[in-house]
């Protein structure tokens, strides 16, 4: 119930959740999925573009790990609100497949991360680079705390994030692409969670990873209770005179499962992300780009865009559409918990021009929940 660095996660506070998590309660509970992160923190005080302060980074998610880059997964994406960017989605929509790493960073670092993903594949998968590469890179805005126009994220950082990707526990909070992000008027960032789904005689995992940078303070809900306005913490991001509208920022969510699914079923999982976010209170701000990607690692070797000269057919195994409800539930549950992990596994952070984002006060939050009838034995 703690991150690798020892930070408490939401369950460590006693916040109750529905569903059964995987062993690490992370997207990496899905076999083969690896996550790597590069965190950039440097400087303080007044903004000097190109010098800092720097509060940013890169997160890499590899659906089949580094060894499996180039082997497609069934994939689909969904946009709740399009004030954001996720590259490569036109090809995902066309083919229902994904075969590159997924990178998440800040809004103005999409370019270097895109190039960095290509550089890594040229070096390590040259047979793929001889054709064409359409990496998936997504973003959220960290300009409240970070020198976002300073060019601090480089192609080399993207390469290092891919090279550092591992299975197992995932660090959360102000790390990777989530380093400079804010959520519900508190310090936000990176969070993850997972759920186990039993189907027929098999057991599968659904995992979610969020880069949480969205929501107004007054919207925040925890365990079904509206708590944001009652937490009695300064809210500098929404003070009068700030340039960003309340709720601005964006959220990127990546959902993974090892259940064999069709591309359309992966897209259906991506649509359910909105419901998990709604459980934490958001109503989807116009100024927030809310974009979601889901993939299935089942059916390896299928969906490759290969030139066929000798005919033949591909065949896919998939969960029947009428049996998808437990997987939808797992998405909603894991997304809700991943957002709260991003908030709980965090500390107050200051950045450019001494702007700061306060951390969620753990003791005050749990006192409020107890007052409102929530205890850790509920919602199991």
Q: Which residues are catalytic?
A: 250, 288, 290
For the chain, which ranges sit under pLDDT 70?
240-242, 306-310, 376-380
Q: What's the CATH fold of domain 19-305+316-368?
A: 3.60.70
Return the residue matching tokens 């057991």: 203
> Do β-strands 247-257 and 290-296 pair in parallel, antiparallel, or remain unpaired?
parallel
pLDDT (0 to 100) of residue 247: 82
pLDDT of residue 191: 98
pLDDT at 297 (0 to 100): 98
pLDDT of res. 131: 82
pLDDT of residue 379: 44
- CA dist 71 and 48 (Å) reads 43
pLDDT for 214 equals 97
Coil vs helix vs strand at 21? coil
The pLDDT value recorded for residue 187 is 98
- Cβ-based neighbours of 268, under 8 Å, separated by 6 or more: 76, 324, 328
Q: Where are the domains of the chain?
A: 19-305+316-368
What does DSSP say about strands 102-106 and 97-98: parallel, antiparallel, or unpaired? unpaired
Q: Determine the pLDDT at residue 380.
A: 43
């Amino acid at each position: 119930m703690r991150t690798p660095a020892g930070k408490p996660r939401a369950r460590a506070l006693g916040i109750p959740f529905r569903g059964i998590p995987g062993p690490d309660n992370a997207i990496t509970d899905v076999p083969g999925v690896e996550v790597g992160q590069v965190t950039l923190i440097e400087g303080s005080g007044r903004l000097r573009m190109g010098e800092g302060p720097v509060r940013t980074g890169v997160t890499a998610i590899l659906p089949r790990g580094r060894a499996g880059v180039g082997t497609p997964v069934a994939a689909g994406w969904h946009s709740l609100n399009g004030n954001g960017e996720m590259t490569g989605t036109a090809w995902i929509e066309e083919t229902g497949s994904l075969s590159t790493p997924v990178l998440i960073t800040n809004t103005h670092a999409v370019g270097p991360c895109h190039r960095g993903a290509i550089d890594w594949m040229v070096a390590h998968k040259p047979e793929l680079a001889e054709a064409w590469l359409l990496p998936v890179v997504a973003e959220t805005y960290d300009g409240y705390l970070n020198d976002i126009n300073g060019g601090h994220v480089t192609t080399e950082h993207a390469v290092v994030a891919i090279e550092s990707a591992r299975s197992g526990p995932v660090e959360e909070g102000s790390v990777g692409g989530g380093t400079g992000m804010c959520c519900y008027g508190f310090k936000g960032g990176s969070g993850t969670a997972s759920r186990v789904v039993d189907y027929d005689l098999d057991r599968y995992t659904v995992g979610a990873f969020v880069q949480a940078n969205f929501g107004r303070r007054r919207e925040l809900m925890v365990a079904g209770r509206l708590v944001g306005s009652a937490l009695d913490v300064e809210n500098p991001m929404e003070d009068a005179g700030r340039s960003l509208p309340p709720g601005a920022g964006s959220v990127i969510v990546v959902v993974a499962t090892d259940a064999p699914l069709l591309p359309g079923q992966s897209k259906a999982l991506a649509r359910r992300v909105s419901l998990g976010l709604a459980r934490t209170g958001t109503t989807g701000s116009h100024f927030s780009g809310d974009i979601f990607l889901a993939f299935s690692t089942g059916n390896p070797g299928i969906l490759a865009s290969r030139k066929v000269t000798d005919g033949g057919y591909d065949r896919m195994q998939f969960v029947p559409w009428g049996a998808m409800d437990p997987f939808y539930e797992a998405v909603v549950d894991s997304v809700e918990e991943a957002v709260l992990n991003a908030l709980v596994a965090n500390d107050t952070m200051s950045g450019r021009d001494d702007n700061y984002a306060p951390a969620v006060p753990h003791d005050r939050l749990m006192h409020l929940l107890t007052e409102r009838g929530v205890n850790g034995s509920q919602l199991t």
